[in-house]
Chains A and B, each alone.
Chain A
Amino acid sequence: MRMKGAEAIVEALKREGVEVIFGIPGGASIPLYDELYDSDIRHILTRHEQGAAHAADGYARALGKAGVCSATSGPGATNLTTGIATAYMDSSPVVAFTGQVATLFIGKDAFQETDIIGITMPITKHNFQIRDVAEIPEVIKKAFHIAQTGRPGPVLIDLPKDMQEGEAEVEFPDKVEIVGYKPTYEGHPRQIKAAAKAILEAERPVILAGGGVIISGASPELIELAELIMAPVVTTLMGKGSFPESHPLALGVLGMHGRKVANYAVTDADLLIAIGTRFSDRSTGMVSCFAPEARVIHIDIDPAEIGKNVRADIPVVGDAKRVLRQLIRTLKEMMAQAKTKAWVEKIQQWKKEFNPRMDYDDVPLKPHRVIKEIMDFLGEEDIVTTEVGQCQMWAHHYLGRSKPRTFISSGGLGTMGFGFPAAMGAKVARPEAKVIDIAGDGSFLMNIQELATVVENNINVVVAVFDNRYLGMVRQWQELFYDRRYSAVNLGSSPDFVKVAEAFGAYGTRVEKPGEIRDALTEAFDAGKPAVIDFIIDRECNIFPMVPPGRCLKDIIE
Chain B
Amino acid sequence: MENTHYIVALVEDRPGVMQRVSGLLRKRNFNIDSISVGATEIPGISRITMTVRGDRVTLEQVMKQLNKLIEVVKVSELNPRESVIRELALIKVNVKSEGARAEVVQYANIFRGRIVDVAKHSMVVEITGDEDKVNAFIELMRGYGIKEIARTGKTIMARGAKSVKPRE
Chain B positions 115-157 with a Cβ under 8 Å from a chain A Cβ: none
Chain A positions 96-127 with a Cβ under 8 Å from a chain B Cβ: 117-118, 121-122, 125-126
Shortest CB–CB separation between residue B28 and chain A, in angstroms?
A: 10
CB nearest to A153 among chain B residues: B68
Shortest CB–CB separation between residue A119 and chain B, in angstroms?
A: 11
Partner of A117, one of B16, B27, B65, B71: B16
Shortest CB–CB separation between residue B61 and chain A, in angstroms?
A: 6
Hey, which chain B residues are within 8 Å of A307, CB to CB?
57, 60-61
* Assembled-state Cα–Cα distance A178/B50 (Å): 24
Does A182 lie within 8 Å of B167, measured CB to CB? Answer: yes
Shortest CB–CB separation between residue A300 and chain B, in angstroms?
A: 11
Does A146 lie within 8 Å of B70, measured CB to CB? Answer: yes
Does A178 lie within 8 Å of B16, measured CB to CB? Answer: no
Shortest CB–CB separation between residue A131 and chain B, in angstroms?
A: 8
The proximity string for B residues 27-70 relative to A, scoring 1 for CB distances below 8 Å and 0 otherwise, is 10000000000000000000000000000010011001101111
The answer to whether the Cβ of B8 comes within 8 Å of any Cβ in the partner chain is no
Contacts A121-B19, A179-B73, A181-B70 given; indicate if A304 touches B12 (C-beta within 8 A).
no
CB nearest to A155 among chain B residues: B70
Chain A positions 150-168 with a Cβ under 8 Å from a chain B Cβ: none
Does A180 lie within 8 Å of B70, measured CB to CB? Answer: yes
The answer to whether the Cβ of B114 comes within 8 Å of any Cβ in the partner chain is no
Does A125 lie within 8 Å of B23, measured CB to CB? Answer: no
Interface size on A, residues (CB 8 A): 20
The answer to whether the Cβ of A248 comes within 8 Å of any Cβ in the partner chain is no
Does B68 lie within 8 Å of A178, measured CB to CB? Answer: no
The answer to whether the Cβ of B72 comes within 8 Å of any Cβ in the partner chain is yes
Partner of B72, one of A121, A125, A180, A302: A180
* Assembled-state Cα–Cα distance A180/B20 (Å): 14
Does A180 lie within 8 Å of B64, measured CB to CB? Answer: no
Hey, which chain B residues are within 8 Å of A308, CB to CB?
61
Max count, chain B CB within 10 A of own CB: residue among A146, A179, A302, A307: A179
Partner of B71, one of A180, A182, A303: A180
Partner of B64, one of A121, A122, A146, A303: A303
Does A121 lie within 8 Å of B16, measured CB to CB? Answer: yes
Chain A residues engaging chain B, CB cutoff 8 angstroms: 117-118, 121-122, 125-126, 129, 131, 146, 178-182, 302-304, 306-308
Chain B residues engaging chain A, CB cutoff 8 angstroms: 11-12, 15-16, 19-20, 23-24, 27, 57, 60-61, 64-65, 67-74, 166-167
Question: Please, could you name 23 A-B residue pairs with CB atoms under 8 Å apart, sorted by A?
Answer: A118-B19, A121-B16, A121-B19, A121-B20, A122-B27, A126-B71, A129-B15, A131-B15, A179-B73, A179-B166, A179-B167, A180-B12, A180-B71, A303-B64, A303-B67, A304-B64, A304-B67, A304-B68, A306-B64, A307-B57, A307-B60, A307-B61, A308-B61
